[in-house]
Amino acid sequence: MDIPEGLTQSAFSEMLGCRLQRLETGVAEVALALEPHLRNRGNVMHGGAIFSLVDITMGLACSSSHGFDQRSVTIECKINYMRAVAEGEVLCVATVIHPGRRTLVVEAQVRQGDKLVAKAQGTFAVL
């Protein structure tokens, strides 16, 4: 896949520490290690960091589906958290399940090894 320079990272994703692992048409994988600035008061990965990882990964899956020459933005996203992350890193896999002309529907799972951390579904508008 031909990806224009600089379109897989943003200042925000870099600040979080997101690392692109795989990108193919309609699918993206992004890893995130638990660093001190991502911990909540309970000393585990903040839910907002996990949600941001999901949104970033879903956005990349959308871009790989409709092409990096178009933009897409999140319309809505729902997430279920299954377990806390106390150490290590997580991997988010996002897959476009409906690649429409105006909207895309994307599913994502966040895993730590074989353990499901969170599951999400989102809708994105193509601009």
pLDDT-based confidence at residue 7 (cuts at 50, 70, 90):
low
The kind and range of the H/E element at 18 are: none
Place of tokens 């951390």: 117
What was the pLDDT predicted at 56? 97
What was the pLDDT predicted at 3? 59
Q: Are 40 and 50 in contact (CB under 8 A)?
A: no
Q: Which value, in Å, is the radius of gyration of the alpha carbons in the chain?
A: 14
Q: Are 62 and 77 in contact (CB under 8 A)?
A: no
What was the pLDDT predicted at 74? 98
What was the pLDDT predicted at 10? 87
Q: What integer is the mean pLDDT of 80-102?
A: 98
In the chain, domain spans: 12-126
Class of domain 12-126: alpha beta
pLDDT at 36 > cutoff 70: yes
pLDDT at 44 > cutoff 60: yes
Q: What integer is the mean pLDDT of 74-97?
A: 99
pLDDT-based confidence at residue 5 (cuts at 50, 70, 90):
low
pLDDT at 8 > cutoff 80: no
State which amino acid sits at residue 9: Q
